[in-house]
Structure 1
Amino acid sequence: MGEEKEDPQKIKRIAAAAYDYENDPRWADYWSNILIPPHMASRADVVDHFKRKFYQRYIVRPSPFLDLYLPLLLLVDPDLVVEAMSSTGSSQSTKSASGSSSSPSRSSNEQPRQRSTGSTTTNSGATPTATQNPTSVRWDRQTIQFSVNAWVFVVAVLAIFPIVPRSLSNRAYRLAFMGTACSSLYSLYMQYGRPRAWNLQALQVYLQSIIATKDFIYFIYCLTFVTSNLCLTFALIPILCRALLNVAKFLRRNFNSSSLYRRYLEDPCVWVESNTTTLSILSSHAEIGVGFLLVLSLFSWQRNIIQTFMYWQLLKLMYHAPVTAGYHQSGWAKIGRSVNPLVSRYCPFLQGPISAVQKWWLR
């Protein structure tokens, strides 16, 4: 009877070991977010352990019905039991580590880690504390980003909703930009750290490494509107799209086994992730439209020449930055195909200034 109970787990472990992790982009993202010491990352048993955890959480179980009707639905395999890692480096001791509360071969400088399972607490002395703290930090970072983005989404909806009082709408408008700016700045800090030194040369090197990232672009985008008295609700569209994408991605990765998620949130999250390109195109068109709205605002009493100049510099960066160039270049190409014939026909005297602006833009 004991062997019959172990057979399903053996089959699942074989399937997990045979999975093609190298061709799955989710595995590369998952492994890059695992913060462990380099000497641990080079061990085969550590890599196999995290591959089984990845398989348990993300891999789709084959089903002909799902392949035909719900190709984007994510069904994980929670029945796969992933054993705790051992400090000895052998796979046999890894399998037996969860069954023993202490090991005689453990070094005296290793400290047992407390693990809570249900209502009981046991000592798992096979895993060093140093290899577990980075994982919890990574989880905390994702949870913080999710909380901030969910909050940004709520306040941005309040700012856009027409029946909300104007005073509350204006406050929600600024809070949405402030939340996105904080989220982008936090993401930049976690990925790139801070400058090595606070001098001009170190700051230039640091800025060159982050200036083309999407987080830096959104940080400058939000600062442009937080510091302005002009309230453009249209400018919240890119913020809403960004928050929606981040929230949907987090929910699908961490709550796909929850019955509440499957019942109410799975279909919207699947739709959001399957329409990422559409949302990116919408964001780029909104960002270009905001630039023209700022130009029109120069003819009103709310004009802000500095803000308009800074925003068009940001649009130029979006046009050239690899993370946004494809969508912005496509949007500007559509505008050129519509405007250039009209200028040539009705306003030929504008061709010279437009040509000068284009040279500056493409420089």
Structure 2
Amino acid sequence: MGDGDDDPQRIKKIAAAAYDYESDPRWAEYWSNILIPPHMASRSDVVDRFKRKFYQRFIDPNFVVESMPSTSASSQSARPSVRSSSSSATENARPHSPGSGNTTSAPPGRNENSLQLDRRSIHFSVNAWVLVVAVLGIIPIVPRHLSNKAYRLSLLGTTCSSFYSLYILYRKPRAWNLPAIQAWFQTVIATKDFIRLIYCLLFLTSQLHFNFALIPVLCWALEHVAKFLRRNFAGSSLYRKYLEEPCLWVETNATTLGILSSNAEILLGFLLIISLFSWQRNVIQTFMYSQLLKLMYHAPVTAGYHQSVWSGIGRSVNPYIYRYAPFLNTPMAAVQRWWFR
């Protein structure tokens, strides 16, 4: 009877292990939102467990994810006599102060949770501020001088937020030499925070002013604020009355926001190419942004959205090129070879 009951779960476990997570854009987004230390993220058992949880959430809700075996209990009970004897000796040797009986220390788990909550609160505060400022910068009816300031401040806020998130998750290179910096750079280059950091730096240091550049910033801040509110204020009456439906809409339309952001990012690339024929040309920025678009096309966290948008552009443009401008086939082929390299 026990084997018969376990057969469905065993089959589900095999199906979960055989599922192609890398081709599912939801897995890349799910994994990018997991906040764990880098040394834990490199462990295959930890990654497999999160893959099973992803499979349970998005593919098969009836799949049961087993809890990870805890090694702390066994390590704590391995030497009880030594620990008890050492603790008793320490207590006997410790001098008693008059006020020592009233002092209590906070549990380390609580301190760690409060520290993590403080980090998330700081990140949320910056993103909420960016959300408000970006709205002011993108609305056409706002005065131009105020819109320009809001444009710069929103890019600056997202830069600080992305840099802070990168530092919290990946810290700094273990050594300030070329191999260590290269290893650290390879770890962070395909992350969502690094892409956002470079994106904002490119437009923050540019003399060109594109309101379209705030669309991805607005989408990123909106998504982060909605997730934070749903996780931490779900029990608040104010949240349930005014913010629950907007936050739920943002979470259910995350794919739409990702596609909107990708369209704006690609449109900015074409605008930068057009600007090369004006007096405001910036060849270095255009080249750097083309490299960033290439990274967005290949990075797992953004590849699904960008590949979808570029496929639509190709289906619309290629027939006209083949029919009316066949001389562009050779340069287009060269660009595609560089792009897919």
Q: By the TM > 0.5 criterion, same fold?
A: yes
Deviation, structure 1 residue 131: 2.8
CA distance in 2, matches of 1:262, 1:309: 47
Moved over 4 A (4+): 32-35
Higher helix share: 2
Deviation, structure 1 residue 161: 1.4
Say which structure, 1 or 2, has more relative contact order (CA 8 Å, 6+ apart).
2
* Residue identity opposite 1:148 in structure 2: V
Q: What are the superposed Cα offsets for residues 204-251 of structure 1, whole Å, 9 maximum, x if unpaired? A: 111000000010000000000000010000011110000000000000
Q: Indicate yes or no: 2:304 matched with 1:326.
A: yes
Match of 1:302 in 2: 280
Match of 1:84 in 2: none
Contact 2:276/2:283 (8 A) holds in 1: yes
Question: Among 189, 198, 201, which residue is 2:179 paired with?
Answer: 201
Match of 1:156 in 2: 134
CA distance in 1, matches of 2:274, 2:127: 31
Which structure 1 segments of 5+ residues have no match? Answer: 1-21, 39-88, 91-104, 110-122
CA distance in 1, matches of 2:257, 2:294: 20
Match of 1:274 in 2: 252
Q: Indicate yes or no: 2:313 matched with 1:350.
A: no
CA distance in 1, matches of 2:264, 2:144: 23
Match of 1:293 in 2: 271
Deviation, structure 1 residue 200: 1.4
CA distance in 2, matches of 1:33, 1:240: 22
Question: Among 97, 122, 132, which residue is 1:144 paired with?
Answer: 122
Q: 1:208 to 1:164 in 2, by over 3 A?
A: same
Match of 1:182 in 2: 160
Aligned partner of residue 228 in structure 1, secondary structure:
coil
CA distance in 1, matches of 2:195, 2:272: 18
Contact 1:34/1:138 (8 A) holds in 2: no
Q: What are the superposed Cα offsets for residues 18-58 of structure 1, whole Å, 9 maximum, x if unpaired? A: xxxx99x9xx99xx7589xx9xxxxxxxxxxxxxxxxxxxx
Deviation, structure 1 residue 124: 9.8
CA distance in 2, matches of 1:277, 1:141: 27
CA distance in 2, matches of 1:301, 1:320: 32
Deviation, structure 1 residue 136: 1.1
CA distance in 1, matches of 2:185, 2:125: 27
Contact 2:36/2:169 (8 A) holds in 1: no
CA distance in 1, matches of 2:142, 2:310: 34
Contact 2:35/2:169 (8 A) holds in 1: no
Contact 1:156/1:172 (8 A) holds in 2: yes
Q: 1:272 to 1:124 in 2, by over 3 A?
A: farther
Q: Indicate yes or no: 2:157 matched with 1:218.
A: no
Which structure 2 segments of 5+ residues have no match? Answer: 1-12, 17-26, 41-75, 78-87, 94-101
Q: What are the superposed Cα offsets for residues 97-139 of structure 1, whole Å, 9 maximum, x if unpaired? A: xxxxxxxx9x859xxxxxxxxxxxxx895x7543322111100
Contact 1:34/1:134 (8 A) holds in 2: no
Deviation, structure 1 residue 194: 0.5
Aligned partner of residue 132 in structure 1, secondary structure:
helix
Q: 1:338 to 1:33 in 2, by over 3 A?
A: closer
Match of 1:233 in 2: 211
CA distance in 2, matches of 1:312, 1:160: 24
CA distance in 2, matches of 1:142, 1:309: 35
What is the aligned residue count?
258
Q: Indicate yes or no: 2:304 matched with 1:360.
A: no
Contact 1:33/1:138 (8 A) holds in 2: no
CA distance in 2, matches of 1:172, 1:124: 50
Question: Among 338, 341, 347, which residue is 2:319 paired with?
Answer: 341
Cα RMSD for the two superposed structures = 2.8
**Percent of aligned pairs with the same amino acid:** 65
